[in-house]
């Protein structure tokens, strides 16, 4: 009996080493090319976008006194320089629509999205003089694609918008009479990655008459740390309607939405492989108890082939998730591994033992155990509950067994 236990333990240790190598391989395939894959997605889809409000300013020549050193003496001169004087933003009405669309590269999924932006901004000439005011609307990313990009001033497309496009913003200008109000309307459709942010000018920024409405096609909304939470929320069949509305507020925070992250098949497969020895340990333990109690002669070589069937599950999963969704891959691998065990034990023992004891135990400790990793945050609890239930069942089944006699036999 002791030699049999030692042989089974040796098989268990060797299989655990193989799982450690497989798990390390999966993590290497997932993490080493991660930045390269991310750069590839960014180059074709976009980067995290950070939108800022437009600015308005006029140029005015002012006199300044400049000090210079000449012949060891300090000399003051009166000079005139052109200075850009900003005008405050009086109101902002913004509509943002975020459409999440996950994309897979290799063993990783990336949270890409499409954004439709429409903003209406109001500026007023409060200088008491007629001024030629320049308006500039910054792009949300240094590199990006903007469809249906439009900038209008009082409903009229800015005539010099294209000429003033310097790569970082789209701009226009208008001659404003004293007290005149100008409405700037901006719109575009674009796409980005991971996060969308609306950041105010100035830190802290004083915001007046601000209203931002955001709609999403996903329910798992997440607001990053140090950002403003919406004041109103309304759940829709496809996602949420969110609203930020302020009459007058001073803040150092931005408005941001973190895109939901989907289950990563590569790291998930690696995690399942690393914890596979726990699954095999419970399976071997229960098989050993059942065969000992029922006097079923299961040779260590039988345990070797059972361990191989378990390992086949993780090996197939590691390379199948590259081509098939992780849930479909999990189902296929589960069926393959259970088929290997049942088709083998029906020959080594009998069909009833293969279908009931072996397949049932494998389903619990391989399939359900591995599926617990799909529920982030509950994996440890699920495994603990499973272990306690297993211990209870074994203790009840073997409570009247004379282990001294079994081991002598």
Q: Residue 343: inside a domain, yes or no?
A: yes
Q: What are the tens digits of pLDDT across the range 317-336?
A: 888 887 788 888 899 999 99
Residue 187 shares a structural domain with residue 300: no
State which of 258, 286, 321 marks the end of a domain.
Answer: 258
44 contacts 336 by C-beta, under 8 angstroms = no
Residue 300 shares a structural domain with residue 364: yes
| Res 81: pLDDT | 63
Reported as a pLDDT band with limits 50, 70 and 90, residue 131 is confident
| Res 33: pLDDT | 59
| Res 176: pLDDT | 85
| Res 162: pLDDT | 47
Residue 85 shares a structural domain with residue 212: yes
The arithmetic mean of pLDDT across residues 175-179, rounded, is: 86
Q: Residue 42: inside a domain, yes or no?
A: no
The CATH number of whichever domain residue 79 belongs to comes to 2.60.40
Q: What are the tens digits of pLDDT across the range 180-229?
A: 889 999 999 999 988 999 998 776 788 889 999 999 999 888 888 888 99
Residue 106 shares a structural domain with residue 188: yes
The total number of structural domains in the chain stands at: 2
Reported as a pLDDT band with limits 50, 70 and 90, residue 69 is confident
Please indicate whether residue 290 or residue 53 has the higher confidence score (pLDDT). 53
| Res 332: pLDDT | 94
**102 has which bridge partners?**
111
Q: Residue 43: inside a domain, yes or no?
A: no
Q: Residue 44: inside a domain, yes or no?
A: no
Q: Residue 154: inside a domain, yes or no?
A: yes
The arithmetic mean of pLDDT across residues 84-88, rounded, is: 80
State which of 227, 258, 289 marks the end of a domain.
Answer: 258
| Res 326: pLDDT | 83
Q: Can you give the three-state secondary structure of the chain, one letter per residue?
A: CHHHHHHHHHHHHHHHHHHHHHHHHHHHHHHCCHHHHHHHHHHHHCCCEEECCCEEEEEEEEEEEEEEEECCEEEEEEEEEEEEEEECCCEEEEEEEEEEEEEEECCEEEEEEEEEEEEEEEEECCCCCCEEEEEEEECCCCCCCCEEEEEEECCEECCCCCCCCCCCEEEEEEEECCCCEEEEEEEEEEEEECEEEECCCCCCEEEEEEEEEEEECCCCCCCCCCECCCCEEEECCCCEEEEEEEEEEEECCEEEEECCCCCCHHHHHHHHHHCHHHHHHHHHHHHHHHHHHCCCCCCHHHHHHHHHHHHHHHHHHHHHCCCCCHHHHHHHHHHHHHHHHHHHHHHHCCHHHHHHHHHHHHHHHHHHHHHHHHCCCCHHHHHHHHHHHHHHHHHHHCCCCCHHHHHHC
**pLDDT higher than 60, residue 342:** yes
For the beta sheet containing 131-138, the strands, ordered from the edge strand earlier in sequence to the opposite edge, are 73-87, 55-70, 131-138, 169-176
Q: Residue 333: inside a domain, yes or no?
A: yes
Structural domain of 328: 2-32+264-408
Residue 233 shares a structural domain with residue 152: yes
| Res 51: pLDDT | 92
| Res 336: pLDDT | 94
The arithmetic mean of pLDDT across residues 279-285, rounded, is: 89
Residue 174 shares a structural domain with residue 270: no
**pLDDT higher than 60, residue 164:** no
Please indicate whether residue 386 or residue 141 has the higher confidence score (pLDDT). 141
The arithmetic mean of pLDDT across residues 72-97, rounded, is: 78
236 Ramachandran zone, left/alpha/beta (phi>0; psi -120 to 50): beta
Reported as a pLDDT band with limits 50, 70 and 90, residue 72 is low
Q: Residue 354: inside a domain, yes or no?
A: yes
Average pLDDT over the chain reads 84
Residue 196 shares a structural domain with residue 289: no
The arithmetic mean of pLDDT across residues 123-142, rounded, is: 86
Residue 25 shares a structural domain with residue 58: no
Reported as a pLDDT band with limits 50, 70 and 90, residue 27 is confident
Residue 91 shares a structural domain with residue 226: yes
The arithmetic mean of pLDDT across residues 127-155, rounded, is: 86
State which of 233, 258, 283 marks the end of a domain.
Answer: 258
| Separation between Cα atoms, residue 301 and residue 293, nearest integer Å | 19
The arithmetic mean of pLDDT across residues 259-268, rounded, is: 80
The residue with tokens 């020959």 is 347
Residue 207 shares a structural domain with residue 73: yes
| Res 96: pLDDT | 95
Q: Residue 40: inside a domain, yes or no?
A: no
| Separation between Cα atoms, residue 285 and residue 364, nearest integer Å | 13
The percent of residues above 70 in pLDDT, for the chain, comes to 88
**pLDDT higher than 90, residue 75:** no
- Upstream peptide bond of 204 is cis (omega within 30 degrees of 0): yes
Residues 229-268: b if buried by 16+ CB within 10 A, e if exposed: ebeeeeeeeebbebebebeeeeeeebbbbbbeebebbbbb
Greatest pairwise CA separation for the chain in angstroms: 111
Residue 131 shares a structural domain with residue 12: no
| Separation between Cα atoms, residue 77 and residue 286, nearest integer Å | 94
When computed from its CA atoms, the radius of gyration of the chain, rounded to whole angstroms, is 33
Strands 205-216 and 91-105: parallel
Reported as a pLDDT band with limits 50, 70 and 90, residue 370 is confident
Residue 278 shares a structural domain with residue 241: no
**pLDDT higher than 80, residue 83:** no
């Amino acid at each position: 009996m002791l030699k049999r236990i030692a042989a089974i333990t040796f098989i268990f240790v060797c299989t655990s080493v193989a799982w450690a190598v497989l798990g390390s391989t999966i993590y290497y395939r997932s993490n080493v090319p991660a930045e390269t894959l991310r750069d590839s997605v960014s180059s074709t889809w976009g980067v995290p976008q950070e939108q800022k409000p437009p600015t308005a300013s006029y140029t005015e020549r002012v006199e300044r006194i400049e000090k210079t050193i000449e012949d060891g003496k300090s000399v003051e001169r009166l000079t005139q320089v052109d200075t850009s004087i900003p005008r405050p933003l009086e109101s902002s009405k913004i509509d943002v629509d975020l459409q999440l669309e996950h994309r897979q590269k290799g063993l990783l999924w990336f949270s890409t999205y499409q954004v439709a932006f429409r903003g209406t901004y109001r500026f007023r000439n409060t200088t008491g003089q007629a001024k030629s005011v320049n308006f500039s609307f910054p792009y949300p990313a240094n590199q990006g694609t903007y469809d249906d990009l439009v900038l209008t001033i009082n409903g009229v497309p800015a005539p010099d918008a294209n000429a003033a496009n310097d790569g970082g913003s789209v701009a226009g200008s208008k001659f404003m009479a004293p007290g005149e109000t100008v409405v700037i309307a901006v719109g575009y459709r674009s796409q980005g990655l991971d996060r969308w942010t609306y950041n105010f000018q100035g830190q802290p920024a004083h915001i007046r008459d601000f209203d931002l409405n955001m709609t999403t096609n996903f329910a798992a909304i997440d607001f990053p740390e140090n950002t403003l939470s919406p004041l109103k929320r309304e759940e829709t069949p496809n996602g949420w309607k969110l609203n930020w509305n302020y009459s007058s507020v001073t803040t150092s925070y931005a408005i941001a939405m973190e895109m939901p992250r989907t289950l990563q098949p590569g790291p998930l497969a690696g995690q399942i492989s690393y914890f596979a020895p726990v699954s095999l340990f419970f399976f071997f333990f229960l098989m050993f108890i059942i065969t000992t109690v029922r006097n079923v002669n299961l040779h260590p070589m039988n345990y070797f082939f059972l361990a191989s069937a378990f390992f086949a599950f993780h090996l197939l999963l590691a390379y199948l998730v590259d081509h098939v969704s992780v849930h479909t891959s999990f189902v296929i691998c589960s069926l393959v591994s259970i088929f290997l065990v049942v088709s083998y034990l029906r020959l080594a023992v009998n069909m009833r033992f293969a279908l009931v004891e072996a397949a049932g135990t494998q389903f619990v400790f391989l399939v359900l155990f591995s599926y617990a990793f799909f529920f982030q945050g509950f994996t440890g609890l699920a495994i603990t509950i499973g272990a306690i239930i297993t211990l209870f069942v074994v203790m009840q089944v073997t409570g009247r067994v004379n282990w001294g006699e079994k081991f002598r036999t």
